[in-house]
Amino acid sequence: MRPHIVFSLCLALAALACGKAPDRRSFTLQGQVESVDPAKKTVVVKHEEIRGFMPAMTMPYQVQDGKALDGLAPGDLINATLVVVSNGAYLTNFKKVGTAPLEKPPAEASNPPAAASGFELLKPGEAVPEGSFVDQDGGKRRFSAFKGSPLVMTFIYTRCPLPTFCPLMDRHFVTLQKTLKEDPSLQGVRLVTVSFDPVTDTPAVLKQHAKRLSADHTRWTFLTGDRDDVDQFAARFGVSVARALNDQRDITHNLRTAIIGADGTLVKVYTGNDWSPEQVLADLRGLRTVRELGTGDRG
């Protein structure tokens, strides 16, 4: 083969390889280890603001090699590198720089609210409480209006920076929407995304967010509302939301996704991001009767 042809081929292969390279960004993270789980290759870190990316918060992070967690313990002060790719994030390059006592949780954290407070966790089979919301078009919505159709519901905020948190919930719902449209047996199922960041996620913002996801509003509705009302509603599913006192847009949260039956009762709650659209679809198909799938108002 002629040298100039070989050189041209190498250039073409190099360009192809570059074209397939993932979107990769790296940030310096400084914080304190809250807990370590080598079996799941995760570490929970309470970290400082990562300038230009995310506010200070407490988050669980993945590591690619569980051995990277060797020697780390709750209370350790660390520097690390946060690597963010198009569909994931992980920590690497850990360096222990000190240790300090962990901050004690507020006294009430060890005393769960009484059942009468309205914040107790819903159990499968229990009726989901009423809630007042505003949808992506600015229309007022009562949660009871969805009764008659089974729902898959999740909680997010649109500024969430980590690909494995709220953006992953969005991607999973895009996959669910596609299958729900294609499977006649699931035609009555609705999708609901609730934002717990009403300061930023106005109806106009939610509508633009939905447009980016190619959401079909006959099937997929985006809701927000009064902050305290949304927080109380979300807490019944196990959603915990903490906001910085100096900026309500700085949010630390966990993840919960739920299936709600056509009769308005809770079917199942998925914890965190360790679930797949295939699991949800299987659970939807496993609902006991065709009546549970309902027909629902598709408007």
Express each pLDDT in 222-250 by its tens digit.
Answer: 999 999 999 999 999 999 888 777 666 57
Is the pLDDT higher at 271 or at 86? 271
Element (H, E) at 279: helix 277-285
What's the pLDDT at 249?
Answer: 59
Bridge-based pairing of strands 190-195 and 76-85 is: unpaired
Q: Of 124, 154, 114, which Cα lies nearest the Cα of 254?
A: 154
**Is the per-residue pLDDT at 107 higher than 60?**
no
Q: What distance in Å separates the CA atoms of residue 193 and residue 204, rounded to the nearest whole number?
A: 15
Interval 121-130: pLDDT, tens: 999 999 999 9
What's the pLDDT at 161?
Answer: 85
What's the pLDDT at 196?
Answer: 94
Residue 36, φ and ψ in degrees, nearest 5: -135, 135
Cross-strand partners of 244: 247
Only one residue has tokens 């999708």, namely 191
Token output for 196: 């717990």
What's the pLDDT at 179?
Answer: 96
Interval 155-197: pLDDT, tens: 999 998 888 889 999 999 999 999 999 999 998 999 999 999 9
Q: What distance in Å separates the CA atoms of residue 176 and residue 182, rounded to the nearest whole number?
A: 10
The set of long-range contacts for 226-231, using a CB threshold of 8 Å and a minimum separation of 24, is 226/132, 226/198, 227/196, 227/198, 227/199, 229/131, 229/132, 229/133, 230/131, 230/133, 230/194, 230/195, 230/196, 230/198, 231/196
Question: DSSP secondary-structure letter at 54?
Answer: B
Mean pLDDT of 128-147: 96
Q: Of 293, 263, 58, 92, which Cα lies nearest the Cα of 180?
A: 293
Domains of the chain: 25-99 (2.40.50.320), 122-293 (3.40.30.10)
Residue 144 identity (one-letter amino acid): S
Are 85 and 57 in contact by the 8 Å Cβ rule? The answer is: no
What's the pLDDT at 247?
Answer: 65
Lowest mean pLDDT among 33-37, 48-52, 111-115, 256-260: 111-115
**Is the per-residue pLDDT at 288 higher than 60?**
no
How confident is the prediction for the chain on average, in pLDDT?
84
Token output for 181: 């449209």
The structure's pTM equals: 0.75
